[in-house]
Amino acid sequence: MKLFWRIFLFFWTATALMLALVLAVNELVPMTFPGEHERRFQPASMLPVLNAGVNAYEQKGESAFLAEARRLPLVDRPEIYLFDEHGDSLLDAGRDAPFAALMAQDVAKSDREEYVRLGFRVLYARPLASESGRRYEVVFTVFTPAGRLLNPRFWWNMAIAMLPASFVCLLLTFYLTRPITRLQFAAQRLASGDLNARAVPPGVRRRDELGDLAQDFDAMASRIQLLMMAQRRFVADVSHELGAPLTRMHLALALLRREYGDESSGIYRVERETQKLSSLVQQLLLLSSLEAGRVPSESLALISMRELCDSLLEDVKLESQHRACSIVGERQDVRLLVYPNLLRRAIENVLSNALRYSPLGGEIEFNCRVRLVEQEITIEVLDCGSGVPEGELTDIFRPFFRTAPGRESSSGGTGLGLAIASEAIQMHGGVIQARNRESGGLAVTITLPLSSPSQSGTYTSAS
């Protein structure tokens, strides 16, 4: 059944249940409310007030009649009409004056009181006789819409009616939102890189518009997965095929250097470009391996984070001195169970990226903090460069993504360092994020969970 007819059927069922339940309660379950009997309209209690009103009218006029009419019990600010024995109105006409005149004529002919329901109002009419013997007909509203809203029975009926409607609407809401929520969750997983995300659970088959949408989404996800796998396989195959020619090029360059010595600038340029190409191929192979979920050939090991950070600072010391950049910060110690070379490569890529895009003589903050309450460790690298446009902060972790103008290829990067760092951190169950600093520059934060062996260790801080 299509979704249109399902929604129609739900609402039709809810309306039918509301009406049926209210009618059944009113007919089958007699109900009384405290004070309801005293609030009932009782014509006998009105008669003395009305007789006094017509006598006052004969003696003092219209205002005297209206003053007496305000004393009517259980009637709040009624619309009241007074007619003589010929059916002529004796008071200023109100909005229901034509209808009241017809009621007065009927009452004059039958000489009996009469009730008429007019929309949400109830009108009452009866003949009267004054002390002088003159005959009158009086018509006034007994119940008004405002009075009905203040009646407890009205709200009781409303509550009874809302019970089946609420239940049916709850079922409809669950029926509609569950597949939409499942589709949203699958879209989030797909956007985060989980190419196996699907919206239709195994064994579940919906034959409506939402089911068709979920199937189309799964078809799209399968197509994207095939394309991404083909792309990764292509990059890995090309990188692998380039390895052998590059090895032969290195051998040929070694022979040329042996033959012509170190004085040839052409050999030096070819060797430098070959080295760049070799580095690019190695990074492509590493990224392809990480994206496929394969860890490079190393085992998990328990390492000291402070020793790792100090070792990294020693490695980038030459580059920081070349750019006259100082690296400051607080580095606390904790032992983590990680892939040492892979984690080192990730942090080194972020740190080298900060050095590459910081101005000469700039200052870089490199912090490593342990947060025992959150059971995590945070590594921050804050540079003082030009930053990144806000809309591209997540894109910088994509392969070969570059921003302009401060992070172009002339800076010496390949566009793979942060992508490798992101995959490596995810393989450790962590998160890497970037944000722009208020004072200028980019802040990259790596958050890693504390593994079981580290929870019993101690930590210290060092600057």
With respect to residue 188, please indicate whether it lies within any of the assigned structural domains: no
Residue 387 · residue 442 · CB < 8 Å: yes
| Same domain flag for 158 and 245 | no
| Same domain flag for 315 and 425 | yes
Q: Mean pLDDT in the chain?
A: 78
Burial letters for 37-47: b for 16+ Cβ neighbours within 10 Å, e otherwise? eeeeeeeeebe
| Same domain flag for 141 and 243 | no
With respect to residue 185, please indicate whether it lies within any of the assigned structural domains: no
What CATH number is attached to the domain comprising 359? Answer: 3.30.565.10
* 406-426 pLDDT, tens digit each: 444 445 556 778 888 888 898
Which residues are known to be catalytic?
A: 240
With respect to residue 58, please indicate whether it lies within any of the assigned structural domains: yes
With respect to residue 190, please indicate whether it lies within any of the assigned structural domains: no
| Same domain flag for 321 and 444 | yes
Name the band, by pLDDT with cuts 50, 70 and 90, for residue 379.
very high
Name the band, by pLDDT with cuts 50, 70 and 90, for residue 145.
low
Count structural domains, the chain.
4
Which whole number is the average pLDDT over 392-417?
68
Count CA atoms within 13 Å of residue 174 on its CB side: 6
pLDDT for the residue numbered 408: 46
* 254-290 pLDDT, tens digit each: 777 777 766 666 776 777 777 777 767 777 777 777 7
Residue 110 is encoded by which pair of tokens? 């039958």
Q: How far apart are CA 99 and CA 119, in angstroms?
A: 12
Residue 323 · residue 384 · CB < 8 Å: no
With respect to residue 319, please indicate whether it lies within any of the assigned structural domains: yes
Q: Strands across the sheet with 121-129, in order?
A: 80-84, 135-143, 121-129, 114-118
**What 3-state DSSP class applies to 239?**
helix
| Same domain flag for 348 and 443 | yes
What CATH number is attached to the domain comprising 203? Answer: 1.10.287.130
Domain boundary among 294, 311, 331: 294
pLDDT at 442 over 70: yes
Q: What is the DSSP string of 57-113?
A: HHHH-HHHHHHHHTT-TT--S--EEEEETTS-B-S---TTHHHHHHHHHHHHHH-S-
With respect to residue 186, please indicate whether it lies within any of the assigned structural domains: no
| Same domain flag for 322 and 442 | yes
Strand stretches in 183-334, DSSP E: 301-304, 326-328, 331-332
Residue 17 is encoded by which pair of tokens? 């249940």
Peptide bond into 152 cis (omega under 30): no
The residue ranking higher by pLDDT, 387 or 239, is: 387
| Same domain flag for 380 and 446 | yes
With respect to residue 187, please indicate whether it lies within any of the assigned structural domains: no
Domain span at residue 280?
195-294
pLDDT for the residue numbered 347: 92
With 0-12 / 13-18 / 19 or more C-beta atoms within 10 angstroms meaning exposed / middle / buried, residue 25 is middle
| Same domain flag for 168 and 224 | no
With respect to residue 183, please indicate whether it lies within any of the assigned structural domains: no
Which of 202, 201, 199 has the alpha carbon at shortest distance from 222? 199
| Same domain flag for 203 and 141 | no
Which of 207, 187, 208 has the alpha carbon at shortest distance from 199? 187
* 204-229 pLDDT, tens digit each: 777 777 888 888 888 898 888 888 77
Confidence (pTM): 0.51
| Same domain flag for 157 and 23 | yes
| Same domain flag for 265 and 345 | no
Domain boundary among 294, 324, 356: 294
pLDDT for the residue numbered 75: 60
Which of 27, 313, 5 has the alpha carbon at shortest distance from 160? 27
Q: Which of the 8 DSSP states describes residue 150?
A: T
**Identity at 295, one-letter amino acid code:** V
Residue 223 is encoded by which pair of tokens? 């197509």
Contacts of 163 (CB under 8 A, 6+ apart): 21
| Same domain flag for 173 and 109 | no
